[in-house]
Structure 1
Amino acid sequence: MIFAIEEINSSTDLLPGIKLGYRIYDSCVSVPVSVHVAFELTNGEDTVFYEGMNCSRSGVVMAAVGDAGSSPSISVSRVIGPFNIPLVSHFATCACLSDKKQFPTFFRTIPSDHYQADALAKMVKYFGWTWIGAVHSDSDYGNNGMASFLEAALREGICVEYTESFFRTDPQIKIKRVADVIRRSTAKVVLAFTAVGEMKVLLEELALDPPPPRQWIASEAWVTDPNLMRFSFCAGAVGVAIQKSVIPGLRNYLLDLSPSEVAASSVLTEFWEDAFSCSLTESSSLRLLRELSSRNSQSVAERKTNLLL
């Protein structure tokens, strides 16, 4: 996101004469936190929204990008919508957000779950799986997605043995009950319209008493996560994924950052620690910066590339 904004601000073609300022918040996939952030945005507490740039309307939020989740996006849109502040999401797929009467200022760059649910039902029918089980997140994303899928499954002649909903913060006894339904069921195929957090909790519970191998039908939220297919009772997963793309210049942008620049950002610190398998503290970043500066045989970018490899 920072890279994209800097690219726009340095371009003479994209938004000539306009500089974008920003502030990045972490909603923690939490509705209360998202609402709190939304109120901060509408209150315009900061006298200067982005220091160093001569913003024509400092402190006034023109638009918001996010959230990734449907429920947080619904909450934020209800707060900032009456102020005509648009919300553009990259990952909130709930079909309910397409209702322009309720969410007139909500936009997104990803298709509605209405299309995904129909595609999943056709996929199940294609493989001849006419007797399946179904679980879903107890959220706007999961509840609406499952409702759309059940409608599509009925049209395709698919029988659903059970439907179970749960949320990752539910008591362990409820997660166990959902897992027991899967263990006792005769359906060998399970459709999971869940967020990655719920799927992780469910699979870890199933691993305590593994059922016979199950074939999983996955929604886009978790199908591409390789960590969720490491369990022996997962015969495989097939589903709808989001097409990946290569962003020109992003890799070099990340590799050219200095350790001090990374340490100043919690987002970049998390990225570095994950990419380089390290713990980046202020002292360690300074030591690393001195080490990088002392080695003249390679450029900083080349050494970081070696670390990545």
Structure 2
Amino acid sequence: MTEAPATETGDPTHWVLSLSCPDRPGIVHAVAGLLAEHGGNITESQQFGDPLSGLFFMRVQVESAASREELDTALTALASEFGMTWDLDVAGRRMRTLVMVSTAAHCLHDLLFRQQSEGLPVDIVAVVSNHTDLAGVAGFYGIPFHHVPVTKATKPDAEARLLALVEELDVELVVLARYMQILSDDLCRALAGRVINIHHSFLPSFKGARPYAQAHDRGVKLIGATAHYVTGDLDEGPIIEQDVERVDHSRHVEALMALGQDVERRALARAVRWHAEHRVLLDGHRTIVFR
């Protein structure tokens, strides 16, 4: 569960509750009843029952004057009864985020701008890179920049330093904004469900290196980008968002890459926003996204 600031009884707080559990009758009634018992006024509610996995998913926004402790205690008891996994947070709280980059600047620029000017609900507390090219971009926005070089020999030390930063800065989300390094299985497990990557192709097609060249070689009529959670299986993590642009035979590889950068920015920003707003729930290798 994400830790949110403690709230004293008094003025109502706008909470967001997300949960999943084995599907059965009475879940919505039980959740709504619990919130009503604590003076809750539900302002938004979405739910989905997956017949394939047999799981039920729900996201609720509610205003309540109850304290965090009261809600935690009540939800813990309800979770025990229904076998729930749940998360309660203050709606709109900016999620502490670390962005990892290499040399491509477009996704980093976009995230920093959206955080500053478009209400993207994240607090980017650091930029980490295996190169120094984008130190100036981070500096322009007043974000601390950490150069962590990676070679085959130094990769374990580099990942240990990353985990130390995550711990030290109380990081909740790591965004790979065109970070051109493969994370180890151990790191993926340590940060499971907390790392979002943007892949510059419409997965599952054109995985791995040089996807735009692969797409051009196949004469595609659509190019795309995929934002997904990172797992130990390269480019196989649960997909959060995808976006596309229509192209034709006249587009050369460089033109596809230029057009693709805008697609990447859009897909990544939406995925980060939805994650920070607790709109994404994992359903095995898939995601449930309450938009």
Looking at secondary structure, tell me which structure has more helix per residue.
1
TM-score (norm 1): 0.29
Tell me: higher relative CO, structure 1 or 2? Use CA pairs within 8 A at least 6 residues apart: 2
Looking at secondary structure, tell me which structure has more strand per residue.
2
Q: Which one has a bigger Cα radius of gyration? A: 1
